[in-house]
Amino acid sequence: MTRPAVPRPDDDGSGPDGAPGPDGGAAGGRFADFGRPRRVDGGLKARSTRGAIGVSWWSRRFLEVLESFALGTRLTRGRSYARRGQVLRLDVKPGRVEATVQGSRAEPYRVDIALAPFPPALWERVERELAGQAFFSARLLAGDLPAELEEVFAEAGAPLFPAGVAELTQRCSCPDFAVPCKHLAATFYLLAEAFDADPFQLLHWRGRSRAELLDRLRALRAGAGVTPPSTADAVPEASGRAPADKAAPPAQPPPAAGAARVLADLPAAALDEAVDRFWLPPVPLPDRPPTLATGAELLLRQLGAPAPAIGGPGLLERLRRAYRTFDGS
Amino acid sequence: MLVIHGLWLVGAGLAVWAEDSSLPARAPRRPGRAPRERPHPYAADHATLAAVLGDVPAEAGSALLTLPTRAGSPLDSPELVRVAEPVRGPVTLAGWRVPVLRYAPDDALTLLRALGTCAAVPGATLRHLAGLADFAVDLVARGRLLPVLTDQPHPATGQPDGVAGDHVRAWAAWRPLLTGADAGWARSLALALPPAARAATSADPAGAADRFVADRGVAAGRAGVAGRAGVAGRAGVGAGPGGPGPGALVADALDALTDAAARVVLSDTDLARGGRRIGAVAGWLTALTGTDRAFTAEPDALATLRAELDAWQRDAAGGAVRASFRLVEPAEDEVVDPLVVVPADPATVVRPAGRWRIEFGLQAADEPGLHVDAGQVWRAPETVPGLVGRLDSPQETLLAELGRAGRLWPELDDALRTPAPEGLELDVEGAHRFLRDGAPVLHAAGFGVLLPSWWRRPSARLGARLQARSRTAPGTVTTSSGGLGLNALVDYRWEVALGDETIGEDELAALAELKTPLVRLRGRWVELDPQRLAAGLRLLRSSGELTVADLLRMGLAGAEQPDALPVLEVTADGPLGDLLAGQAERRLTPLDPPPGFTGTLRPYQRRGLAWLAFLQSLGLGGVLADDMGLGKTVQLLALLAGDPPEAGPTLLVCPMSLVGNWQREAAKFTPGLRVHVHHGAERARGAEFTEAVHAADLVLTTYSVAARDAVELASVGWHRVVVDEAQAIKNASTRQAEAVRALPARHRVAVTGTPVENRLADLWSIMQFANPGLLGPASSFRQSYAVPIERHGDAEVAARLRRMTGPFVLRRLKTDSSIISDLPEKLEMEVLCNLTAEQASLYRAIVDDMLAKIESSDGMERRGLVLATMTRLKQVCNHPAQLLRDGSALPGRSGKLERLEEIVDEVLAAGEKALLFTQYAEFGGMLRGHLSARFGREVLFLHGGVGKADRDAMVTRFQSPDGPALFVLSLKAGGTGLTLTAANHVVHVDRWWNPAVEDQATDRAFRIGQRRRVQVRKFVCAGTVEEKVAAMISEKRGLAASVVGSGEQWVTELSTAQLRELFALEAGAVVE
């Protein structure tokens, strides 16, 4: 993402009034001493542009902890930092989240949020529970954090979400005495979005990376009497992954829309190989296979509503107008 | 003539250029090395292009094409027909600059969809691109597309307005979502893309000046410049050194055409209506309709929109490996409860028990045959065969797939409470819910779904049977008129059936009480739908009377309302019953031909005659659609011969090329029939016409005259109207079809050799002639039958249509066991063709001119003149353009060519192959070009100039199952040595008069390795020297057979008087 991020003095989502602020948006203007952040290119940016950050129940749940303790302008500023892309780096590790946030000074601040990882014994208990029901892995791998998972941790005596800020050790290299400062708050918001996109990140923070967790669950499934664990199975699986301390998010598939997805891998036939059949199909066109009779709206039903950030169910209804028209065509 | 070709320019749209046969074929030779680009010598200029392409907005320009080139000139496309001297030399690729008209995607869609009405011959490239446009329109109609945000400027986007403040420009677009069969079809289209469609050189310095090139970053970032009116941007996508590959090109075309097609449909829709018009989302919604795709918004908001749209759409297509769900019914011994037995005491009806099961598995998305059970994934993931390499972690893939499927069908979660689920146990209600609701949703979302085969089979559902009893005494079949007719009344009553079992009212009520959706009945599962049960109970209480036409229509009804009972069967007693059972042809006693018929009929032809007579006795029309070569003409003539003298005349409408054939066949087989030909400029009118018609038993006319003289022809009370080559009226809205349908007649017969039942619009139009109203209005027929069958492959609807039309269509194939024993191994036919008026006047001119010269010459000179006359007469019989060598257009000027097209049409429709022999290489070239353009197929052409390697390659390709279906051969080059047994049709387009040579050529197909019967057709122009020589050979009259029949030398020995007799054009040669 190389588009210039233009900081705006007030990002309350009131719409594109288009007029730049009095300082012209340049860093180091006369408000710099009052905390005007330096402009950042290529920072991590919150996806939502207005309202609350965090879509899924689990990321909301996580932010509730933060918002219940820290009220006021620092949160608001943290949120707009997050949206503006002031966070340069976000790294989730077992027990720690490290971030670099560009503030008003030239040197970015280092942010560190520590949360005691669950002890191995506890993880093993939880993992046995999780391995017992394919439901958990299925939903996690499909990108959901099932509500039952929270219960599993609760029953193991280890609540998945911190009960309060006291459990968190928050550090920021900025001079602001308040905790959380806006840099910490921005980090929290981006963290919530990271959890949205990949719920495994939350578990990683609590001590188990995605790869580790999946490897252990697989081994437990095998041990649970399906068959004895085959090392030939486990070893290449594990070695084929990213190192365990790096929670590799699932590889993003190419966009679903567009013909290139299914046509990209066709052989590129050079023209000079086709001299003798230049004008005609190189292979005859077969009969067209029948297609399933479905209503034009089925696709929308399958996809559900998009994120609230771009209109949620309301956008879905607007698009539905188009698909209804397609159906009648 | 003009052959128009299409190029797709990635990121820009369509460009069209054309070859013009009236321009010189050769580029001027220049000394020295060939330049990098030269002007194409015979490409049409802009004005010519614009004249044929109509007024779709276009931009004039030029393109540098890479074209096959031989001896310093580009090679003609196969569709271009002209007489050209063969050129030798190696074929290379060279650059040629051609004038083009460029169309932005919206206009390209308009042009490609209207290609059928274009005056010029569209080449394979343009036809292929039109296929892409059709596909795009179909994707839109089915909603298989997604709205996206792109930073690639749309080619139609004009000079952008200024961009306010910190806003940046973006573009909204609709993109196809290709899954399953659609993905396969897109790949087929890409693989079959003619290379000529990507002949435009991507590195085109001269073209670039008036063409696009807009850097992506510039377009997205700098306000005000997003490329010129044409085109921008994506030139880099997949562009290799020789331009984009077929995949990249088809992807770009399909994307652009889908976007254009969606906007056509959405022209009156405003997606942003009723909301605020500001912000990125509103701008994007507005830009999704109309022609202006651009909008502006803040970069942050755009980034959010893009990211969220991607996230939202991510699961739409699914990955390379998908979960599969197979529903398995309870095992036989598991169904312990007493089964429902109908008819039975309602008290014994018990709900069936037993466990249903959905079995999980994984399958490759693009190859559903690659399938593994979940059990294997859990126990031995490393052994998952075939899927290895497609996924690195089978267990996690399966889990993720199950998680996603659970979102669509939450009941699946119940199965996931174990460590390694292999399936989901269901009770009968659950199974039914899955069948009815879950399976379609999962299938549509791309998951593999396998259901028991009985599901959605008509026998597994409640249906209705309609029983009719005719009011007239159950009739003996007679050929007299006064039959049943479509308007006769019959009594009817309904029966309700489950599969084959009739169900009484009590049982039906008891089944309704069960309130179970699935019942096992005599070893088979059937679905009980409460609404249909109620509908069944209502039907049982109704009865009454209706007309035969309504009775027949009832059988077709029921597809529209979901809660109506489908009509499983319509039965009747008496002859109507025989007809409805579709058994008439087999059950009727074969009819002996009447005394007026002088030929003999094969057994199947006598059955066909009985069928025609039977339909006539019922007052119903029929479609005689026997395979070509089975003798439809003689069956018709035998039927005509049986008409009583007072019946009145039969009108036979056929293509011009067949009039002579009918005349001669009638004279041969039914010499007693009085035949009147109503055709030509001098045809009878007014009182003269009425008199001639009433003095005739058979009136022959052509489709064009039938349309022109519609009023006059409709004023006659025809006993019977027959349309031959009925595919001529397949397009219901043409004047010909309307005129022919409007002719009043007591009996109607359509004759066709092409399988009408596979082309539903054609079937409707032909059936509308034979039995008006039977299939209902065209629009509802299309909605209820054509769309479900052709677009969705709905087998049930297809079966219902077949059941209802079957009684009226008699189609027997050469391969039917009841036919094949009646047929000889090799069937030789002389096909009589007519001359057109142009051919006849040329013919007469040649005869007059040459005879004068012959008279005043002798010796070698006379001999040479006689042979030259023969040659020129035979050329004019083939085609005026062959004689004149002027490269003029071919269609509509030769009776032979027209007849050949009809025969080739039937050969291709039957999926068979043909050899076409001519002794003239130049005519072979014309045939090759004309036929490949006319049928859009590759046509092979073997002549003396083809080298051995090329010849062997042609033979191999022709013999391969997927190879070209038509092979034109010059008699000299292809008459000996080759094995071409893939063909079972041989046509001798012109004659060598040497049976040994012709037989030798025929034997290319009729030889060891040939497993089918071979049909040999020898073309002869009626009333010309061709027919007279043919008659001499067959009758061995006047001259010794050994002399005639060994070439043409003997002709030179004839006296001038004999020559005059031989060459003279007989009356009746021309039908026009």
Predicted confidence (pLDDT) at residue B336 exceeds the cutoff of 50? no
Question: Which residue does chain B place closest to A283, by CA atoms?
Answer: B192
Q: What confidence category does residue B45 fall into, taking pLDDT thresholds of 50, 70 and 90?
A: very high
B748: Cβ contacts below 8 Å, ≥ 6 apart: B621, B622, B720, B721, B722, B769, B770, B771
Q: What is the DSSP letter of A89?
A: E
Indicate yes or no: CB of B406 within 8 angstroms of CB of A226. no
Indicate yes or no: CB of A329 within 8 angstroms of CB of B265. yes
pLDDT tens digit string along B879-906?
A: 998 888 877 778 888 989 999 998 998 8
Q: Which residues of B touch A144 (CB under 8 A)?
A: 403, 407
Q: What confidence category does residue B949 fall into, taking pLDDT thresholds of 50, 70 and 90?
A: confident
Q: What confidence category does residue B718 fall into, taking pLDDT thresholds of 50, 70 and 90?
A: very high
Q: What confidence category does residue B358 fall into, taking pLDDT thresholds of 50, 70 and 90?
A: very high
pLDDT at B162: 57
* pLDDT above 70 as % of chain A: 70
Q: What confidence category does residue B183 fall into, taking pLDDT thresholds of 50, 70 and 90?
A: confident
- Out of A84, A276, A322, whose CB is closest to B269? A322
Predicted confidence (pLDDT) at residue B1039 exceeds the cutoff of 90? no
- For residue B212, give both structure tokens: 């696009």
B1020 and B1033 Cβ atoms separated by less than 8 Å = no
pLDDT tens digit string along B198-207?
A: 998 765 544 4
- b/e map B588-621, b = 16+ CB within 10 Å: beebebbebbeeebbebbbbbbbbbbbbbbbbbb
Cβ neighbours around A235 below 10 Å, total: 11
Indicate yes or no: CB of A214 within 8 angstroms of CB of B78. no
Q: Tell the burial category of A225 from Cβ atoms under 10 Å away from its Cβ (0-12, 13-18, 19+).
A: exposed
Question: Which residue does chain B place closest to A291, by CA atoms?
Answer: B792
Indicate yes or no: CB of B403 within 8 angstroms of CB of A221. no
pLDDT tens digit string along B379-414?
A: 877 777 666 555 668 888 899 889 888 878 889 999
pLDDT at B87: 67
* pLDDT above 70 as % of chain B: 83
Q: Which residues of A touch B79 (CB under 8 A)?
A: 279
Distance from CA of B591 to the nearest CA of A (A): 40
- Out of B165, B252, B399, whose CB is closest to A18? B165
B900 vs B491, residue with greater confidence: B900
Q: Which residues of B touch A210 (CB under 8 A)?
A: none
Indicate yes or no: CB of A326 within 8 angstroms of CB of B167. no
Indicate yes or no: CB of A134 within 8 angstroms of CB of B419. yes
Question: Which residue does chain B place closest to A83, by CA atoms?
Answer: B300
Indicate yes or no: CB of A138 within 8 angstroms of CB of B403. yes
B902 and B60 Cβ atoms separated by less than 8 Å = no
Nearest residue to B105 (alpha-carbon basis) of B292, B264, B294, B256: B256
Indicate yes or no: CB of B396 within 8 angstroms of CB of A137. yes
* pLDDT above 90 as % of chain B: 21
Indicate yes or no: CB of A283 within 8 angstroms of CB of B191. yes
Predicted confidence (pLDDT) at residue B477 exceeds the cutoff of 70? no
Distance from CA of B491 to the nearest CA of A (A): 37
Q: What is the DSSP letter of A289?
A: P
Distance from CA of A175 to the nearest CA of B (A): 29
Distance from CA of A87 to the nearest CA of B (A): 15
- For residue B595, give both structure tokens: 């005394």
To test the contact with chain A by mutation, choose from B19, B135, B304 the residue with the greatest count of A C-beta atoms within 10 A, namely: B304
Q: Which residues of A touch B144 (CB under 8 A)?
A: 299
Nearest residue to A264 (alpha-carbon basis) of B46, B656, B611, B187: B187
Q: What is the DSSP letter of A143?
A: T
Indicate yes or no: CB of B272 within 8 angstroms of CB of A262. no
To test the contact with chain B by mutation, choose from A80, A233, A263 the residue with the greatest count of B C-beta atoms within 10 A, namely: A263
**H or E, element range at B1034:** helix B1025-1035
pLDDT tens digit string along B92-119?
A: 888 999 999 999 999 999 999 988 777 7
Q: Would the ipTM clear 0.85, i.e. be above it?
A: no
Predicted confidence (pLDDT) at residue B145 exceeds the cutoff of 90? yes
Work out the average pLDDT over B413-441: 88
Q: Helix, strand, coil: what percent of chain B each, to 5?
A: 45, 20, 35
Indicate yes or no: CB of B403 within 8 angstroms of CB of A142. yes
Indicate yes or no: CB of A263 within 8 angstroms of CB of B247. yes
Q: What confidence category does residue A59 fall into, taking pLDDT thresholds of 50, 70 and 90?
A: confident
pLDDT tens digit string along B688-712?
A: 898 999 899 999 999 989 989 988 8
Question: Which residue does chain A place closest to B383, by CA atoms?
Answer: A233
- For residue B294, give both structure tokens: 């651009």
Please, what is the angle between helix B280-287 and helix A312-328, to 10°?
0
Q: In what order do the strands lie in the sheet with B718-723?
A: B675-678, B698-702, B650-654, B718-723, B745-751, B622-624, B809-810
Indicate yes or no: CB of A134 within 8 angstroms of CB of B413. no
- Out of B93, B141, B298, whose CB is closest to A16? B298
Distance from CA of B6 to the nearest CA of A (A): 11
Work out the average pLDDT over A291-299: 68
Predicted confidence (pLDDT) at residue A113 exceeds the cutoff of 80? yes
Residue with tokens 């080449």: B123
- Out of A230, A240, A284, whose CB is closest to B392? A240
| β-bridge partners, B887 | none
Report residue B875 CA to chain centroid gap. 33
Indicate yes or no: CB of B141 within 8 angstroms of CB of A326. yes
pLDDT at B444: 73
Indicate yes or no: CB of B192 within 8 angstroms of CB of A319. no
Report residue B767 CA to chain centroid gap. 18
Q: What confidence category does residue B344 fall into, taking pLDDT thresholds of 50, 70 and 90?
A: very low
Report d(CA B994, CA B70) in Å as an integer.
37
